[in-house]
Amino acid sequence: MSRFILLNTIVAFLLLGMTLSAAHAIERSEVPANLKWKTSDLYASDDAWHAEHAALGKRVHEIDAYKGRLGESAATFYAALELRSTLDLALTKLYVYASMRSDEDTRDSRAQEMNQLAENLYVDFATAASFMRPEILAVGADKVRGFLAAEPKLAPYKAGLEDLLRYAPHTLSAAEEAIAARAGRLAGAGGNIRGVFANAEMKWPTVKLSDGKEVKLDAAAYTQYRQLPKREDRDLVFRAFFTAHKEWQNTYGAALDAAVQTHLFNRDVHKFDSCLEAALFGDNIPTTVYHQLVKDVNDNLPTLHRYLKLRQRMMGLPDLRYEDLYASVVEEVDLRYTPEQAQALVLEAVAPLGKDYVTVLGDGFRNGWVDWIPTPGKRSGAYSTGVYGVHPYQLQNFTGMYDEVSTVAHESGHSMHTYLADRTQPYPTHDYATFVAEVASTLNENLLLHRMLATTKDPKTRLFLLSTHLEGLRTTMFRQTLFAEFELAIHEKAEKGEALSGRAMTDLYLGLVRKYYGHDAGVCKVDDLYGVEWAYIPHFFRNFYVYQYATSIIASSAIANGIYEDLAKGANKPMPHRDAYLRMLSAGSSKFPIDLLKDAGVDMTTSAPFRAAMAEMNATMDEMERILAAQKKK
């Protein structure tokens, strides 16, 4: 299924400067048409969608006609691949429309039913087409490459076929793969158990804050109240929340161990050297990239510690504790925007990417790419999706806050990545990997920050922007790499045959957190209790996924620095860094992600991109310290 990129955000219901609650948000029927996405660009109506669903229901098994025939001839081989692509595109369009209609109002049972119908039909098609992968591998590399040479129309499929052929050493017989696939259905059990327990059955504590307010501390409330300005409240929230997790650490541990064991099973059955290699194989990412990231971060922990000491100083605290890391270091500034102002600001920010980029995105803003306003029942958060041959779409819940302008920039990066890849690539190579997807989004956030700083003179506002940027670097580069190191460590313990109990995970995680945050050096005190924080993180069930958050922001920082170097040469000068980046966005999956980034001037197998990110982080702290010194003189 085509890309469906999500960014979960906390939605504050403020619309154009007016405070709103979810119960008093305007109805969808009251939202101006120019602030809604145009689902009619996909299907004219729900009735048209249902007609297409019925028609596709009769076609999904057309692929059966090619079972056992893929090695017959180059013409037959091409016909089978072309039919699969045609049906995949049609079903993706069907699914995206249904999911968007459902997200407009999650209370709408008819839209929910459409979503389920689309999902079910896609599963039917995936099942029917599942013979193609093992059969292509059985045809063999020599014959497949012979077909490619004999039939020019197969050219768009070459990259995907070469990628598939890499799996030959890790593919079993058809009968063995069928058994492995059936066993693979159990792979999600650990995550499902953890999800049901955490979301439905865990007894969350209730605390009484210093203002007398009683709060039930589920995961969402913890995220909200850990930021409270009073230290006594933060201490109370942290201790209550993680005491509850500590009580159930063995349950969480058993669930995570179950997930790790499925990764061990896949490693062994498909003949990989490690769980890490198996997880990174799909995108052809060398395991050295993962290890390089962990090493680079560990080598640069003094930069994190510098930020933590700056945070302590700005908060006026005698010492810094783990409970203090989410409280604001500066007073909030009143930055509010209308959707139209947000559009203008984002377009100004991305101007370094060229007139064509700005023109296309501006046209998208004006012509139904974005659904802007929170309404009752609307899905929270933000995401970008798209359908090949149509255009990208964005779901937003825009209430006027600056953070949400940054979210618009972020999702617009995804949307323009989708647009450029779809416009340039044939369908077989139009999609792109997560490893490069978040580069496009975080680069746009970087451009927005620099635009804001270039036009903002007020020291208070600049401190707010700079501190927000630093906190993003802490949580994305350092915190996500901490998670990645923990994930690697528990898999390596399992691969050695060591037990993975909840207590063992807590001890391991505590050691890592204390190392990262300088506990022993007196930088930030981390209480024993917070070793159980791993139990709160659901991403550990996603099989070596989180490291990509860190690599993406590192890569985008390096690319942004190159673009700023281009700009510094003056107007009308060549911009090789920008042009290479735009070619990367346009390349889709025509190359492996690590090679796409190399083409854009970023070699993630080396430390050079990370050094660039550290230089930016230190430069940000340098400027903050200059502002603070100037304020002190006054």
Predicted confidence at residue 511, as pLDDT, reads 98
- Catalytically active residues are 411
How many percent of the chain have pLDDT more than 70? 96
Predicted TM-score of the model (pTM): 0.90
Lowest mean pLDDT, pick from 196-205, 207-216, 267-276: 196-205
Segment 431-444 mean pLDDT: 95
Identify whether 583 is part of a domain: yes
Q: What integer is the mean pLDDT of 153-175?
A: 92
pLDDT of residue 22: 39
Q: What confidence tier does 183 reach under pLDDT thresholds 50, 70, 90?
A: confident
Give φ, ψ of 336 to 5 degrees: -125, 145
* Segments forming the whole domain that contains residue 116: 41-171
C-alpha to C-alpha distance for 144 and 138, rounded to whole angstroms: 10
**Last residue of one domain, picked from the residues 118, 150, 171:** 171
Q: Residue 68: which CATH number?
A: 1.20.140.70
Within-domain flag for 582: yes
Q: How does pLDDT run across 226-263, given as a tens digit for each residue?
A: 999 999 999 999 999 999 999 999 999 999 999 999 99
Q: Does residue 9 belong to any structural domain of this protein? A: no
Specify the DSSP element, H or E, that contains 19: strand 18-19
Average pLDDT in the chain: 92
> For residue 439, is it within any domain?
no
Predicted confidence (pLDDT) per residue in 72-88, tens digit:
999 999 999 999 999 99
Domain end marker among 149, 171, 193: 171
Query: Within a domain: residue 416?
Result: no
What is the per-residue pLDDT for 186?
Answer: 80
**185 against 217, higher pLDDT:** 217
Whether 457 is covered by a domain: the verdict is no
Q: What mean pLDDT is predicted for residues 204-213?
A: 96
Is 67's pLDDT higher than 90? yes
Residue 2 has pLDDT above 60, yes or no: no
| Cα–Cα nearest to 349, from 560, 96, 618, 521 | 560
Q: Angle, nearest 10°, between helix axes 608-633 and 301-315?
A: 20
Query: How high is the pLDDT of residue 198?
Result: 87
In whole angstroms, give the CA distance from residue 536 to residue 545.
Answer: 16
C-alpha count within 13 angstroms, C-beta hemisphere, residue 201: 9
pLDDT at 91 over 80: yes
Q: What are phi and psi of 216, to 5 degrees?
A: -85, 120
Question: Where does the pLDDT of residue 271 fall: very low under 50, low under 70, confident under 90, or very high at 90 and above?
Answer: very high
Q: Which tens digit of pLDDT belongs to each residue from 562-607?
A: 999 999 998 889 999 999 999 999 999 999 999 999 999 999 999 9
Distance between first and last Cα of the chain: 59
At 380 the pLDDT is: 86
| Statement: residue 423 has pLDDT above 50 | yes
Q: For residue 477, is pLDDT > 90?
A: yes
Q: Confidence class of residue 188 from pLDDT cuts 50, 70 and 90?
A: confident
**Burial (Cβ within 10 Å: 0-12, 13-18, ≥19) of residue 172:** middle
Work out how many domains the chain is built from and give that number: 2
Q: Decide which of 130, 156, 171 is a domain's last residue.
A: 171
| More confidently predicted of 196 and 492 | 492
Residue 158 has pLDDT above 50, yes or no: yes
Give domain status of residue 451, yes or no. no
Indicate if the pLDDT at residue 133 is higher than 50. Answer: yes
Cα angle 95, 343, 7 (rounded to 5 degrees) comes to 45
pLDDT exceeds cutoff 80 at 197: yes
| Segment holding 4, helix H or strand E | strand 4-7
- Tokens of residue 509, six digits: 């995680």
Q: Please count the other Cβ atoms lying within 10 Å of the Cβ belonging to residue 446.
A: 23
Give the H/E segment covering residue 208.
Answer: strand 206-208
